[in-house]
Chain A
């Protein structure tokens, strides 16, 4: 019954296009979207941690630079940032390839958002943890890196996972700067076959699969962290 319904809705030609395009879209997903996300998010986390720490530790000039960076990045659209770097900078003499441009923009962008997440998590660690560290003879930096930051990163794990999932979807914007990732490939197939509804739904489904896998990983990660007795009294 259902099969009959489908075959009347989707004729054999369309079905062929969908099957054919599935791998065509999935391959740039595996070779571009995932590497782009993985590299940019890793760099973003490093930037975020440094940015959060200089604010938390109240390092004079660096703190102001951190605030300025967050203010600019959070206050401007991601798409505009991509254009500035890829189309704008060459005019100032900085030529940059599409993929590195995307890595740069996505890592700076997620760096700013995650910095705020991590800063809030650092501030949520009870002040007694710091004092106890002093009392057993540890230095400020030793306490930060061994006691405060690990606890903060655990607290920040769920919101950081959200940022990661957002980034997977945001990488579709890289199509605008000629990165041939999943969305761009889909657009090309649509131009050739003129089946926008089916194909855009198909690429949406692939993003959904990626996000679902990440959500599952997030749940597993949280379980593992909780098994250390971090959460829940």
Chain B
């Protein structure tokens, strides 16, 4: 459903993405893992045109796009088919939780107000915030803000939602509520591309895993193979370091 080929991106003289391929089928939950600085955020941002890639192509739902020549019009049409959840939530600070969710419907998509509000409330109910419709972002905890952000992303009924480390900015005790919402979303068949450091999520929720390092994909495959049967030496080291840091290995 989403097919990315040969994304390249440099900032000045630093090459951040060195030709990344990625393929996501409908209903997939793909976890992108990798050390910090490996280009994961840049990859998501290029796919959603928040950065313009230097090279690369994308197929979304049978439509072909060249990542650095796509017109503004095409970009805005594309964005209407996707959702994006940021590491630091980026809720509209001057809008309530409900307005955050309905804004893209009423303004972005010209949906009638009543319909948008019904969808917005349903989305907030789903992420467990039925009692927070009229709260402003600054009146919500980080976990609640991120759940509003997820409601905002899913309310537009996107074909795929991108998540960039959705729990990294949260206190440890708040990550659980966000992960639970994402797990629920995955169970309902939402297609998701998730940059994460949460190994339990990658292991138990995602069905595919991609490991990135230094702007290239080191290994990608089914979640089961990746964790139980890694092919690449680099993947083994990555997993070993990880379990050491978690204290699972002596």
Shortest beta-carbon distance, A198 to chain B, in Å?
50
Chain A 119-152, CB-CB to B under 8 Å as 1, else 0, gives 0000000101101111111110010001100110
Q: Are B152 and A136 in contact (CB under 8 A)?
A: yes
B109 to chain A: which residues have CB within 8 Å?
137
Which chain A residues lie closer than 8 Å to B76 at the CB level?
Answer: 134, 137, 139
Closest Cβ of chain B: how far from A153's Cβ, in Å? 9
- Which of A139, A147, A232 makes the CB contact (< 8 A) with B92? A147
List A contacts of B92 (CB < 8 A). Answer: 129, 132-133, 147
A137 and chain B: residue at smallest CB distance? B108
Known: A138-B108, A228-B136. A147 touches B94 (CB 8 A): yes
How far is B138's CA from A151's CA once the two chains are assembled, in angstroms? 13
In whole angstroms, what is the CA distance A76 to B126 when docked? 59
Residue A230 interfacial (CB < 8 Å) = yes
Complex Cα gap A134–B45 (Å): 12
A75 close to B (CB within 8 Å): no
Q: Is A169's beta carbon under 8 Å from chain B? A: no
Q: Size band of the A side of the interface?
A: 20 to 34
Instruction: Tell whether, in the assembled complex, residue A230 and residue B86 are in contact, meaning their CB atoms are under 8 Å apart.
Output: no
* Contact, CB under 8 Å: B93 / A135: no
- Separation of A147 and B137 alpha carbons in the complex (Å): 13
Task: Give, as a whole number of angstroms, the nearest-CB distance from B83 to chain A.
Answer: 7
Which secondary structure dominates chain A's binding surface? Answer: helix
- Which residues in A have their C-beta under 8 angstroms from that of B90? 126, 128-129, 131-132
Contact B136 A229 (CB under 8 A): yes
Residue from A135, A136, A138, A230 in contact with B136 in the complex, judged by beta carbons closer than 8 Å = A230
CB closest residue in chain B, given A154 = B94
Q: Let me know if A233 is at the binding interface, CB within 8 A.
A: yes
Cβ-defined contact, B156 with A137, below 8 A: yes
Check A232 against B138 for contact (C-beta < 8 Å): yes
Which chain B residues border A229 with CB–CB below 8 Å? 135-139
Contacts of B82 in A (CB 8 A): 135
Interface range on chain B (Cβ under 8 Å from partner): 20 to 34
Distance A134 CA – B162 CA, assembled complex (angstroms): 14
Q: Report the minimal beta-carbon distance from A147 to chain B, rounded to whole angstroms.
A: 5
A128 CA / B164 CA spacing, docked (Å): 13
| Distance, CA A132 to CA B87, complexed state (A) | 11
**Would A138 and B104 be within 8 Å (CB), given that A128-B90, A131-B90 are in contact?**
yes
Name the CB-closest residue of A to B102.
A136
Q: Which residues of A contact B93 (CB under 8 A)?
A: 129, 151, 230
| A131 close to B79 (CB less than 8 A) | no
Determine whether the beta carbon of A151 is less than 8 Å from that of B94.
Answer: yes
Residue in A135, A137, A151 whose Cβ sees the most chain B Cβ within 10 Å? A135
Asked if B103 and A228 sit within 8 Å, CB to CB, the answer is no
Q: Please judge, given known A-B contacts A147-B92, A229-B136, A230-B93, whether A138 and B103 are in contact too, CB under 8 Å.
A: yes
Residues of B within 8 A of A232 (CB): 138
Task: Please report the C-alpha to C-alpha distance between residue A137 and residue B82 in the assembled complex, in whole angstroms.
Answer: 9
Q: Please state if A137 and B88 are interface contacts (CB–CB under 8 Å).
A: no
Q: From B88, B108, B136, give the contact of A128 (CB < 8 A).
A: B88
**Contact between A230 and B138 (Cβ–Cβ < 8 Å)?**
yes
B249 in the interface, Cβ–Cβ < 8 Å? no
Query: CA A128 – CA B92 in complex, angstroms?
Result: 9
- Tell me whether A228 and B94 are in contact (CB under 8 A): yes
CB pair B86 A128 closer than 8 Å: yes
Interface assignment of B246: CB less than 8 Å from any CB of chain A: no
The 10 nearest A-B residue pairs measured at CB: A136-B104, A137-B108, A229-B136, A229-B138, A128-B90, A135-B84, A132-B90, A137-B80, A229-B139, A138-B108
Supply 7 A–B pairs (Cβ within 8 Å), ascending by A: A136-B108, A136-B153, A137-B104, A146-B107, A147-B94, A228-B136, A232-B138
